[in-house]
Amino acid sequence: MAEVRPAAGENGIGNRAIRVGTRRSQLARIQTDSVVEMLREFYPDLCFEIVAMSTTGDKILDTALSKIGEKSLFTKELENALERNEVDLVVHSLKDLPTSLPPGFTIGAICKRENPLDAVVFHPKNCGKTLSLLPEKSVIGTSSLRRAAQLKKKFPQLEFRDIRGNLNTRLKKLDEKEDFSAIILAAAGLKRMGWENRIGQLLSPEDCLYAVGQGALAVEVRAKDQETLNMVSVLHDGETVLCCIAERAFMKHLEGGCSVPVAVNTMLKDGQLYLTGAVYSLDGSDSLKETMQASVNYPQRNEDGPNDDVQHVGITAKNVSGQAQEAAENLGIELASLLLSKGAKHILRVARQLNDAC
């Protein structure tokens, strides 16, 4: 699919420093540095200043994310800084961004997706094993209801417990204690940290569908800041944009979030976008899973008009075909509608109630 990218120097920013907001964690800084490096390649004359801050999700480390009930755990403080003009753009893991952004904000760029699959990191004593080879009652650490629900069903002999903290903290808990036989993490984060060698098992979509937006980085900007929006738009990866629009539309129509197990898998091949989506009960015993496809093979049109800045589930991507984006969004909505017609609302309502009660 053709992408139209503005030439460097046409952004109108001038010589002022571009302030980039990020979380303080090592992974967040690595991800932000990678985005800034990409921007520097397009705009070598611009100066970038990184502004790091802590978020609510970084501070609350003794409670499962699914129980806190805050939709913007890792984004609120960054968005506050964006609103106050203290930063010009913010780099997020896309999976941390709610499907409905606060008024006045938009996702101005989604970078090419890293591997979206989940990975198993084993305790050193279990090196060389897979989940199916672990002894009965082995304890697996994960902070995700989605992962736990799917894996409980597939590996009923294993036990799953919550584990919080950044990647460094979780790996330390795994390695230095005997509490966990293995932990489940996003493969993308491990790769970005340079810890691919710790991946003992990649979980295929047949084993574990991944989170909406997992593996993709998003750049959030003020929706009316046209100069910054134009500047960051060069980072859009067309395939990733369409996959993530479909996933986010699916999640939004289901009214899902981190307090319920919702999972996806997307693939773009020969102009066809394939979306698999699923919902699960907390123990994985009840589930619905379906796959749908839609054509997104539409040409990009260079037309200025009133719909220039139309958003699709919070994403503004003028350099990706508007018709293709609309088709991707409709695909997500239609798949969610199919699952809802088969009883997804009941599964998610019970999951949410049980999670709140635990």
How many Å apart are CA 93 and CA 115, to the nearest integer? 13
**Stated length of the chain:** 358
Residue 43, amino acid: Y
| Radius of gyration in angstroms for the set of CA atoms belonging to the chain, rounded to a whole number | 20
The DSSP element (H or E) to which 150 belongs, if any, is helix 145-154
Query: Which residue of the set 33, 58, 88, 96 is catalytic?
Result: 96
Instruction: Please give the full DSSP string across 219-285, using - where no structure is assigned.
Output: EEEETT-HHHHHHHGGG--HHHHHHHHHHHHHHHHHT--TTS-EEEEEEEETTEEEEEEEEE-TTSS
- Closest-CA residue to 242 (of 113, 124, 79): 113
| 96 annotated active-site | yes
> And the tokens for 159?
């036990």
- Closest-CA residue to 324 (of 355, 287, 294, 279): 294
| Phi (first) and psi of residue 52, to 5 degrees | -100, 140
With H, G, I as helix, E, B as strand and everything else as coil, classify residue 64.
coil
Q: Which residues are catalytic?
A: 96
